[in-house]
Amino acid sequence: MSASTSIYSLNKTNREIERDILSPMEKFPGKLWWFTFIINAGLMLMMLGLIGWTFVEGLGLLGINTPVSWGLYIVNFVFWVGIGHAGTLISAILYLFRQRWRTTINRAAEAMTIFAVMTAGLFPLIHVGRPWMVFFIFPYPNERGPLWVNFRSPLLWDVFAISTYFSVSLIFWYMGLVPDLANMRDRMKFEHVQGKISSFGKKLKYAFVRILSIGWVGSGKTWIHYEKMVMVLASLATPLVLSVHTVVSFDFATSVIPGWHATIFPPYFVAGAIYSGFAMVMTLMIITRKAFKLEAYISIKHLENMGIIILVTGMMVSFAYTMEFVFAAYSANAVEQYVFINRLQGPYAWAFWTMFACNVVSPHFMWSKKLRTNIVVLFIISIVVNIGMWFERFVIVITSLHRDYIPSSWEMFIPTWVDWGVLVGSFGFFFFWFLLFVRTLPSIAIAEVKMDEGHDQLAKGMGH
Amino acid sequence: MVKNKKLVTNKTILNKLENSINRKKFLTAMGITAGSASLNCVRAPIEKIVPYVVRPPHVQPGIPTYYASSRVQSEGINPVLVKTRDGKPIKIEGLDDHPFSKGAVMGDTYATIWDLYDADRFKTPLKKGGGTYTAAKWDDAITQAKSLLTGNVRVISRTSYSPSESSVLKKFLNRYNAKHIVYDPIGAQQELATGNEKSYGKGLIPRYAFDKADLIVSIEADFLGTWIRPDVFTKQFSSRRNPDKNMNRLVVAESIMSLTGANADTRLAIAAGTHVTFALGLAKELLPGSMLSGSTDINKVVSAYTPDVVEKVTGVPASNLQSLAAELKAAKGRSMVVGGGATSRDSSVGALQVVINLINDILDNNGKTIFTSAAIKETNDFSSQEELMALIAEMKAGQVDALVVNRANPVYDLSMAGFGDAVKKVKNVIFIGEKHNDTSIAANLILSSSHYLESWSDGETMGVYSVCQPVIRNLFDTKSPGDILLALAGEEGDFHSFVKQAASKYLGSTGAKAWDKLLADGYFVYQKEANQGFSRINPSSISSVKAPSAALKGYRLNLITSVGIMDGVNGNNAYRQEMPDPITKVTWDNVLMVSPVLAKEQGWKTGDIIELKGQNAKVEVPLVIQPGLRKESMGLAMGYGQYNMSNFSEHLVKGSLKKGELGVNAGLFAQVAATGYLYSGISVTATKVDKEYRLGEAQKELSQHNRYLARVADLKDYKKDPKSGHFEHKLEGKGMYVRHPHTGNRWLLNIDLNKCTGCSGCVVSCYSENNIPTVGREEIWRGREMSWIRLDRYYDYSSEKEKEKDVNMLEPNVHFQPLTCQHCEQAPCENVCPVAATQHSSDGLNEMAYNRCIGTRYCANNCPYKVRRFNWFENWGKKLKDPQQYALNPDVTVRSRGVIEKCSFCIQRIAEKRQEARVENRKISEEDLRTACQQGCPADAITFGDVNDAKTKVSQLEKDARSYKIIQEVNTMPMVTFMSKVKNKA
Amino acid sequence: MVSIKELKEGLFSYDEPDKGWIVDVDSAGDMLKGAENVKKAGVKRFDTFSPFPVHGLEKVLGIKRSWLTLITLIAGITGASFGLSAIYYIDVIDYPVIFGGKPYFSWPAYVPILFELTILFAAFATVGGVLKMGKLGLSKTHRRPPSPLATCDMFSIWIGDDISKEEVKKIMGNINHKIHKLDAHPLENGYE
């Protein structure tokens, strides 16, 4: 691929590239970092505290009740899984489409995936009535019969989908890191030789990179297999990422509850996931490039592209919303129709209209080049979209459940402060890990950037 | 005492368990108690009692023993069958072959099991000293009591149906030449007795035969819910609700929606406090052409109440009144007119009843549907208003030296008459009762009486002598009320022999055989039912009747009784409190029932707090919008707001309720007159106050949104097309799977909505059978009630047109639908459970494995019927307070926190019967296998059995044209069928 | 049809440098040219070291294509069939249970799980394969890089055959280069 098609060009030497990227990790973190880190760690601890309390007292501390047996926990679960998707999309799908601009953002995006899935993974565990019995969901030979699991249950599919997704993303991400870790190792080696590595922290870090770089030396032969592996993993991750949110949507689509039981759910959920995921990537990238002065790497063009993707997926989601109503109208099923009327004007209409404003209206600002190249606008939109996507899940889960077939058991769902506390805490949990990541690992794929640069120069035929 | 030591060991074990009761430990504990019980029959009574079914009589561990007994209370006698396991009663059921009840008892009787194991009962007699109570020995207590009973002694109590107790009381009264005051908290009985006394000179409560009447007209009498003998009447009424045989017709004229009104074929909503006007109007229409038409006394009174006047006052269109009169005329001798209940309580006692008597006389129903032979109550032993007032006066004057309160709560019941202040002036108050109430706290000596399951007693009503025998030895240091009075009267011997003696009079023999048979059967018919009714009424009795002849202005309050709580004497019971009121669906509260049109006008909504002001009362009470009310009529249930009712409930429910938090005392609004109390049409003012309140509403939605859940047809249409009122979903295709063959037994539950009156007996029976936890107001507000079978209540219209006609929602169709797990063949809940905790059995049950469940609650979401319940908190364990643990059914797992539970079709009963059947190598007969709800239904609306066997009743009912299954479009293939309701609109 | 030889090449794995020369060159381009020369000169054991993959090296290093995909395929099939047989054993043979009136073996419900298992097995096998071929792993954390800055910005060629420095010079021809003995790289103690 030639420089002309690249949406950014650095003309930096490899040495400069790695200095730009690695330097943030080589000096002691600044006040800003510590500030945000401590806040998020605090939120995380609060969440863990609340979870512990519910373990002791019981789920009654939440607002859920008999018709609405799933509350904010499941909303958060779907939300966070969705966030994860953009990472894989960038690292895998854009890779297969040879989208070169992905190079500088895929590492951070993948990291986001890992942490988002970790956060999401918390919720299924803590929302069950008897978390200490949760190992029942694994089909292992046991002396209770043996009692096996029910392979027909979408929740079990979830277990497989999420764990597969998490582990595959993890190794994909890690294998991508190996050359950069080796690079860090070799940079540190010289300090080591000169006895500069004295502090415990540095020793630890050196050991850390030595071990994690599993003896990578950049051999040509290994590179060939390595590239093949990236290709294979990318092509495995692509259907995987699509399958994960499909399976998550099955939790709802395969049920019999009006408002859940819809064939459009899989594509609708995937689109929504990418939508919210890209919004989150945008938020993070805007912060990272500012904080670590990586404007050269994460150019405005990157953000613009993401803006366009948000516009497109946003319209897909809007289409899905419309189709839901069309189906309900066409179904001639009174119960189904009532659910959707209830969404528009029922007691939770406010949630629906918030979702509508955030997800259907806001992305259309992206039509204007002026707006989609304006960092501030992009930042606001990215946040708004995420709020909207959270409410989308709220609308799906709560409004469908609270008024279904039997009017006698209709109930309102009123979240308690525990519900809200855990929601806020989950963000703390996510950012806790993300902040650790940007401090300890290269948040841009150095080797890939070098390769792009190198190949540019190769193509230009100019020497080093 | 050895037995107490033994009991202690059991207690200690169970106390240990309270920290962490899980199924295994619980069962071991039950095992231990069972073992120790069976070793020396700790809890088995001393006297010889004869088991009902199981022989030989000695207790076998694990095998239930059934005893026939009766619950003798001041409202009447409930013949019961007590199921005891290892010497402990665990379930109350109706006594099926009892001549008049035929097994009919209602929720309040099933709930008495909690009264027995109430942790707040008096453990010993109590002496007051320096403001606090200290435990006393019985001998001291009795001697002290005797010393206190000097000078001017008064005894106050409610009426009694027990001949032995009355005669013992007589002895007592003679000894201290004390005066006995009998009062009636609700007033239904007194109104009836006094009214009849006026009309016929016979102060008896006649025997009603609702099953003999083709046309029943009720004016304010909630005979299906609270009036006189609701359980018996429900049985009789429902036996005539078969649309294929000549079905009866019920017309109800009432101001506040009651259970009876809800079941009416035609309901005439009258303005609060105008029922006498309506009755007189009806009488006027009927009078011409009758043999009483000549009577001047009568004409003088009724002439004023022309249909137009009646319309103006009551709001009932003149045409409706006339057509009703015409109907009644046509149904002469085949009809029955009843009136009464708390609402009918009038400033002149028996006013309504006198008019009712007149009407029945005109229609000459006496001796046809209303009988004086084998009457419910033979004598009117109620003290007159004058006597009662006199007592209060002399108490206030300090002339009463000793007041004995015999199992009553006058301070609360007569709060409007200022009994509370009066009792403070009495030197010595002796209280006989089971637990604290507003009166007991004024007593300086408390004699702890036993629960009816611990004591000997007897009762007579409807020509049947019923015996009440102890099925468990006293849990605490208590004596049966009879024994206490006997001791106070200084008589020798115990009450047991006393009852035996009394019984011999009825039995006509003192032989042991007769006695044993009585104990085994639980009853003895001493007076055959004869078709003999009242004589002609005395026309002058009418002349005293006064009734409003002009519309009542302003908000008008009626005091009503709720099915669960009644007069509130047994309010300290979690089952009664948590059983949603059939009409308002509210738990743990009494609410102000307000008409929809008024609420709309005032901008009130259900749950708002209203400040209600009366002459000498002011309360803040949550309101509920209640269809079927005239604009300015309001209803408030009595029996709540007893400040000192100790809260048994507290131990069992989350967000424990402080004392005095259970509703408000409606009695305060009653207006005291020289000759009686006015309970209806009380002028009040209501203003909204801005307060947050978490009202424990079990159901919030009024309409079923045309979803054909509870289906109704008009009798005429039904005759034409049995399927009328139905809407069937046609399901094409066979589906993608081959269905599992369910050979052998296949259980099916059938519920006849035409019989079901919504009394909620099934609900309480199920609670008691299946150890269902009670959770309290706060949790129910959140929507976390645990009932396995619930009673859905809807107000609907058969067509949009009718709906528009009745914008004020005066005459909606009221639907009751008991809803339980449908045990779907293609259950959505089973597919979604990741750990296979719920699955299908070969005999078609949807099974739940509690200890496999991890509580994802996915099944609860995916259940279209929303019948699955989740244990949000630990509902037993620590909450159980000795001796409550004994009330739990050892055959049913106690569910831990975090698991789903739901109706199991009483699988423990199925298993038991299957076992027996296998041993005897026969099929399970549907007679001996009955679910708790089926047993709990006084209306016989529920049938359960094997649908694979074409001969069983269910398989026939399932094929009936009225039978249908709900939410078919989901293709769940439920194993519960409903039979559509048929309304007999004239 | 794939010949065994091709397959061998395809699964050709990293050859650990033990002796010989390290030739540093300036750029990726030079490295490519140099490697070609080395191959022409008939050197048996040689390899290149660079901070990023340089396209065109495949032929030079004698790997027409990486047959890693073969491992992926086999693993994927294994995963699916393992899953299916396990589920069949559990639901039909070991403990048949009726769920919602569905048959004991309701295959449509198994599709998502089988799919996930396929991916899982395939992905892990692929990574495993690379580690094997690249002789990577936790046991190799103390491996000393033949070219100390190859992961940073240095392009080097390793020649493992027994030939003299002069011959190497000859092979490199006009490419600007420095020759070091393996394990005697000057940069090892001094960075810039």
Q: With an 8 Å Cβ cutoff, is A341 touching chain B?
A: no
Q: Which of B799, B903, B808, B807 is closest to B847 using CA atoms? A: B903
Cβ-defined contact of C52 to A219 (cutoff 8 Å): no
Crossing angle of helices B307-314 and B318-330, rounded to 10°: 120
| B855 has pLDDT over 90 | yes
Q: With bands split at pLDDT 50, 70 and 90, how would you rate the model's confidence at B47?
A: low
Q: With bands split at pLDDT 50, 70 and 90, how would you rate the model's confidence at B726?
A: confident
Residue pair B36/B9 in contact (Cβ under 8 Å)? The answer is yes
Cβ-defined contact of C99 to B831 (cutoff 8 Å): yes
C-contacting chains (≥3 CB pairs under 8 Å):
A, B
C1 is a domain residue: no
Residues contacting residue B408 through CB under 8 Å, at least 6 positions apart: B156, B157, B158, B183, B433, B439, B569
Compare all CA atoms of chain B with the CA of A254 and give the residue at the minimum distance.
B832
Residue with more model confidence, B728 or C44 = C44
Identify the CATH class of B188-380. Answer: alpha beta
Q: Which of B767, B778, B573, B567 is closest to B657 using CA atoms? A: B778
For the stretch B697-723, pLDDT in tens is 999 999 999 888 999 999 999 999 988
What confidence score (pLDDT) does residue B651 get?
42
What confidence score (pLDDT) does residue B344 get?
87
Choose the weakest-confidence range: B184-198, B914-928, C54-68: C54-68
Q: With an 8 Å Cβ cutoff, is A451 touching chain C?
A: yes
What confidence score (pLDDT) does residue B661 get?
67
| B526 has pLDDT over 60 | yes
Which of the residues A406, A412, A416 would you substitute to probe the B interface, choosing the one with the greatest number of B C-beta atoms within 10 Å? A406
| A399 has pLDDT over 60 | yes
What confidence score (pLDDT) does residue A240 get?
93
Residue with more model confidence, C99 or A12 = C99
Compare all CA atoms of chain B with the CA of C91 and give the residue at the minimum distance.
B836
C7 is a domain residue: no
B126-184+382-525 in CATH: which number? 3.40.50.740
Q: With an 8 Å Cβ cutoff, is C58 touching chain A?
A: yes
Print the domain residue range for C173.
Answer: 17-62+140-189
| B38 has pLDDT over 70 | no
* Residues forming a β-bridge with B49: none
C2 is a domain residue: no
C10 is a domain residue: no
| B60 has pLDDT over 80 | no
What confidence score (pLDDT) does residue B24 get?
45
Cβ-defined contact of C148 to A189 (cutoff 8 Å): yes
Which of the residues C130, C159, C188 would you substitute to probe the A interface, choosing the one with the greatest number of A C-beta atoms within 10 Å? C130
Choose the weakest-confidence range: A289-298, B8-17, B724-733: B8-17
Task: Tell me: do C120 and C80 sit in the same domain.
Answer: yes
> What ipTM was assigned to the predicted interfaces of this complex?
0.91
Domain count within chain C: 2
Which of the residues B740, B823, B829 would you substitute to probe the C interface, choosing the one with the greatest number of C C-beta atoms within 10 Å? B740
Q: With an 8 Å Cβ cutoff, is C130 touching chain A?
A: yes
Q: With an 8 Å Cβ cutoff, is B657 touching chain C?
A: no
Residue with more model confidence, B476 or A288 = B476
Query: Which residues in chain B (815-834) have CB-CB distances under 8 A to chain A?
Result: 817, 819, 828, 830-834
Query: Which residues in chain C (87-126) have CB-CB distances under 8 A to chain B?
Result: 97-103, 106
Task: Tell me: do C58 and C72 sit in the same domain.
Answer: no
Mean pLDDT, to the nearest integer, of B490-514?
88
What confidence score (pLDDT) does residue B14 get?
42
Mean pLDDT, to the nearest integer, of A42-63?
94
Compare all CA atoms of chain C with the CA of B824 and give the residue at the minimum distance.
C100
Query: How far away is chain A from the Cα of B790, in angstroms, using its nearest Cα?
Result: 10
What confidence score (pLDDT) does residue B727 get?
80
Task: Tell me: do C72 and C127 sit in the same domain.
Answer: yes
C8 is a domain residue: no
Percentage above 90 pLDDT, chain A: 61
Residue with more model confidence, A46 or B569 = A46
What confidence score (pLDDT) does residue B31 get?
45
| B408 has pLDDT over 60 | yes
Q: How distant is the alpha carbon of residue B14 from its chain centre?
A: 32
Q: With bands split at pLDDT 50, 70 and 90, how would you rate the model's confidence at B450?
A: very high
For the stretch B858-902, pLDDT in tens is 999 999 999 999 999 988 877 788 888 889 999 999 999 999 999
Task: Tell me: do C128 and C73 sit in the same domain.
Answer: yes
For the stretch B786-845, pLDDT in tens is 999 999 999 999 888 888 888 889 989 999 999 999 999 999 999 999 999 999 998 889
What confidence score (pLDDT) does residue B702 get?
92
Choose the weakest-confidence range: A279-288, B301-310, B386-395, C53-62: C53-62
Secondary structure string (H, E, C) spanning chain A? CCHHHCCCCCCCCHHHHHHHHHHHHHCCCCHHHHHHHHHHHHHHHHHHHHHHHHHHHCHHHCCCCCCCCCCHHHHHHHHHHHHHHHHHHHHHHHHHCCCHHHHHHHHHHHHHHHHHHHHHHHHHHHCCCCHHHHHHHCCCCCCCCCCCCCCCCHHHHHHHHHHHHHHHHHHHHHHHHHHHHHHHHHHHHHHHHCCCCCCHHHHHHHHHHHHHCCCCCCEHHHHHHHHHHHHHHHHHHHHHHHHHHHHHHHHHHCCCCCCCCCCCHHHHHHHHHHHHHHHHHHHHHHHHHHHCCCCCCCCHHHHHHHHHHHHHHHHHHHHHHHHHHHHHHHHCCHHHHHHHHHHHHCCCHHHHHHHHHHHHHHHHHHHCHHHHCCHHHHHHHHHHHHHHHHHHHHHHHHHHHHCCCCHHHCCCCCCCHHHHHHHHHHHHHHHHHHHHHHHHCCCCCHHHHHHHHHHHHHHHCCCC
Q: Among C86, C107, C133, where does a domain finish?
A: C133
| B36 has pLDDT over 60 | no
Q: With an 8 Å Cβ cutoff, is B792 touching chain A?
A: yes
What confidence score (pLDDT) does residue B58 get?
58
Query: How far away is chain C from the Cα of B971, in angstroms, using its nearest Cα?
Result: 11
What confidence score (pLDDT) does residue A460 get?
58
C12 is a domain residue: no
| B16 has pLDDT over 70 | no
Instruction: Name the average pLDDT for chain B.
Output: 87
Dihedral sign, Cα of residue B233, residue B238, residue B241, residue B242? negative
State the CATH number of the domain containing residue C21: 3.30.70
Cβ-defined contact of B701 to A410 (cutoff 8 Å): yes
Task: Tell me: do C126 and C72 sit in the same domain.
Answer: yes
What confidence score (pLDDT) does residue A155 get?
94
| B103 has pLDDT over 70 | yes
Choose the weakest-confidence range: A352-356, B539-543, C142-146: C142-146
Helix (H, G, I), strand (E, B) or coil at B649: helix
C175 is a domain residue: yes
What confidence score (pLDDT) does residue B724 get?
85
B-contacting chains (≥3 CB pairs under 8 Å):
A, C
Helix (H, G, I), strand (E, B) or coil at B901: strand
| C36 has pLDDT over 80 | yes
What confidence score (pLDDT) does residue B658 get?
53
Nearest CB neighbour to C134, from listed A226, A236, A450: A226
Q: Among C133, C150, C178, where does a domain finish?
A: C133
B747-983 in CATH: which number? 3.30.70.20
Name, of A41-55, B422-436, B504-518, B534-548, the range with top average pLDDT: A41-55
How open is the CA angle B703-B708-B711, to the nearest 5 degrees?
95
Query: How far away is chain A from the Cα of B596, in angstroms, using its nearest Cα?
Result: 19
| C20 has pLDDT over 50 | yes
Percentage above 70 pLDDT, chain C: 92
Instruction: Name the average pLDDT for chain A.
Output: 88
Residues of C in contact with B830 (CB under 8 A): 98-100
C5 is a domain residue: no
Domain boundaries along the sequence of chain B: 5-116, 126-184+382-525, 188-380, 747-983
Element (H, E) at B560: strand B556-560
Q: With bands split at pLDDT 50, 70 and 90, how would you rate the model's confidence at C98?
A: very high
Instruction: Name the average pLDDT for chain C.
Output: 86
What confidence score (pLDDT) does residue B8 get?
37
What confidence score (pLDDT) does residue A12 get?
76
Query: How far away is chain B from the Cα of C79, in angstroms, using its nearest Cα?
Result: 21
